[in-house]
Amino acid sequence: MSARARLLAVAALALGVLALGLGAEARAYPHFQLSSGSGRCSQCHIGPAGGGLLTPWGQDEQGDTVARGGDGHFLHGAVQLPSWLLVGGNVRLAALANDVGGSEGAELAAFPMQIDLALSAWRGAWSAVAIVGARGVVRSGAPAMAESPGGEASAPSLGSYVISREHYVMWRPKEEGPYARAGRFAAPYGLRLADHTAYVRRYLGGNLLEETYGVGGGWIGDAWELHATAFVSDPLQGAPRREAGGAALLEARPANAIVVGASARAGAGEADTRLQAGVHGKLWIEGARLLLQAEVDGVRQMFAGGAGAGDRWQLAAYAGPVLVPARGLYAGAGYQVFAEDLQVRGVVRQSVDAWLAVFPIAHVEVMASARAQRIGPAEHAYLGMLQLHYAL
């Protein structure tokens, strides 16, 4: 083996170890809320409950507190946009090793996880927000198609790869005070973790591309905020549940380092009705540079027909610390549990996550994560992932 080949092998091994041993699914950007000194998510984000495009304040924060340095503005400050326009976007590449206990062994994949462009334009109190991009594709499905018993499968259309997670019109006259919006967006609920596979998102209506169409509004204050949404499932982009309903989130900051919140969501469809509620909290311990965050939710699901047969109670919880040992460096861990049916033995999922994220300069993130799951009494799944993320 040549010196170059040995070097490549060592580098690949190091990346593999990093991906398998350190990382996490929890790209939990909500940890910026207190650790960066910002009390409200909407200080840094256009979305009134956080997420999506950064405000000019958020762009400043990206370079000044979140990353190790650099200019957080559009194109690193090289281009000055008009004051009524914000442009952003994301390119996120990922590599993973995934073992779910199948006879084929561990799956290895490298894939584009996220490619999107975000725009926001406003005039006075009114603004329009849109995020358009391509959905990530880990697996083409080709092997299963070839083996499928029917053998009459077709590939997804090119159009199915184009997605718009959010597009809405918003009225928000001031940074603090009332707001209202209409369009497609994620109804605010719970911790609002960035990781869509977190149990408190995946199993509670917040999985990838499950943003709904609806109207929402609320009040954003210095010490508390309220968000309420009436929604219907997106009929165009697909969702595991077709439903209409409402959601509400009340979050308070009784002190600079503490956030407590309560959420509720109700949705009814042809097949079932789901009622869920939960509480969440965050505590920032400045001396230890440590954030503690947790969420617990309960769900009552009632199925159509069958006179109540199978109606169930579910429970989902997430908890984990995030350590910020130095500017631009974040290390986290998480424990999750999801009980699919509290009256049935053997359908509880548990997960332990760990992750490390580095922001060497503004706009750039490197993240390694790992997850070990125990599903019921006997099944296990293991995931290691490495992500390279550039935010426009």
Partner 1 sequence: MLSRRPYNTGFALVLVSALAAACTGEPGDRPATWEYLHPAIIAPSCATSSCHTARVETAGVALDERRAAYIDLIDRRFVVPGDSASALMSLLEGDERRRMPPDAPLPAADIELIRAWIEAGAPE
Kindly identify the residues of this chain, within the stretch 306-335, that bind partner 1 according to CB under 8 A: 306, 309-310, 312, 315, 317, 319, 335
CA distance 158 to 148: 22
CB of 125 to partner 1, least distance (A): 33
> Per CB under 8 A, which of residues 189..208 are in contact with partner 1?
197, 203, 207-208
Decide if residue 296 touches partner 1 (CB under 8 A). Answer: yes
Q: Among residues 169 and 283, whose Cβ is nearest to partner 1?
A: 283
Decide if residue 391 touches partner 1 (CB under 8 A). Answer: no
Decide if residue 368 touches partner 1 (CB under 8 A). Answer: no
> Per CB under 8 A, which of residues 120..149 are in contact with partner 1?
135-145, 147-149
> Per CB under 8 A, which of residues 345..364 are in contact with partner 1?
345-350
Q: Please choose, out of 3-11, 16-24, 336-344, 361-369, the segment that lies near partner 1 by the rule CB under 8 A.
A: 336-344
CA distance 392 to 74: 6
Q: Are 219 and 202 in contact (CB under 8 A)?
A: no
* 3-class DSSP assignment, residue 331: strand
C-alpha closest to that of 249 among 47, 57, 55, 54: 47
Q: Among residues 65 and 207, whose Cβ is nearest to partner 1?
A: 207
Q: Among residues 82 and 152, whose Cβ is nearest to partner 1?
A: 152
For the record, the structure tokens of 301 come out as 């699901």
> Per CB under 8 A, which of residues 90..109 are in contact with partner 1?
98, 100-104, 107
Work out the widest C-alpha separation in the chain, in whole angstroms.
70
Provide the terminal-to-terminal Cα distance of the chain, rounded to the nearest Å. Answer: 40
> Per CB under 8 A, which of residues 34..93 are in contact with partner 1?
none
Q: Which of 200, 375, 385, 386 binds partner 1 (CB under 8 A)?
A: 375
Q: Are strands 107-123 and 312-326 parallel, antiparallel or unpaired?
A: unpaired
Q: Which runs of consecutive H residues, i.e. helices, occur in the chain?
A: 3-21, 32-35, 41-44, 56-61, 142-147, 199-202
Binding-site size, partner 1 (CB under 8 A): 85
- Residue where the block lists tokens 């992932």: 385
CA distance 287 to 294: 20
CB of 143 to partner 1, least distance (A): 6
